[in-house]
Amino acid sequence: MWSDPDNIETWGFNPRGAGLIFGSKVTNEFNRINGFDLICRAHQLVMEGYKFWFDNENLVTVWSAPNYCYRCGNAASILKVDDNLAYEFEMFYESSDSSKSLDKARIPYFL
């Protein structure tokens, strides 16, 4: 199933055309049943490199490709978790060398 978080309470249809969207109530219940404090997920572009969802920030989307497709201008991050489950984000940004060596006209636009 392909599902993305959104600012709703339960479930809805995903505007990306595949799967569903889910909200804070679904996330809270899933975390409670499974004894989780935080869900970490990926595969959804966020411009800041990572994004916490909902009032209690119990879900985070991490995006690890800076300047996705050489045209989105987004930051990227990696979530680092230690043995005590403390976490921090390591941020990454577009490399100036990579944008100089790429012929952007030859990359098909598919976003």
- Per-residue pLDDT at 104: 58
Given a contact cutoff of 8 angstroms between Cβ atoms, the answer to whether 60 and 87 are in contact is no
pLDDT at 31 over 70: yes
Write the pLDDT tens digit of every residue in 44-90.
999 999 999 999 999 999 999 999 998 899 999 999 999 999 999 99
Average pLDDT over residues 84-100: 85
Q: What is the pTM of this model?
A: 0.82
Pairing of strands 76-81, 87-92: antiparallel
Residue 99: its H or E element: helix 96-100
Q: What percent of the chain has pLDDT over 70?
A: 85
Q: Residue 18: pLDDT band by 50, 70, 90 thresholds?
A: confident
| Distance of alpha carbon 94 from alpha carbon 5, whole angstroms | 26
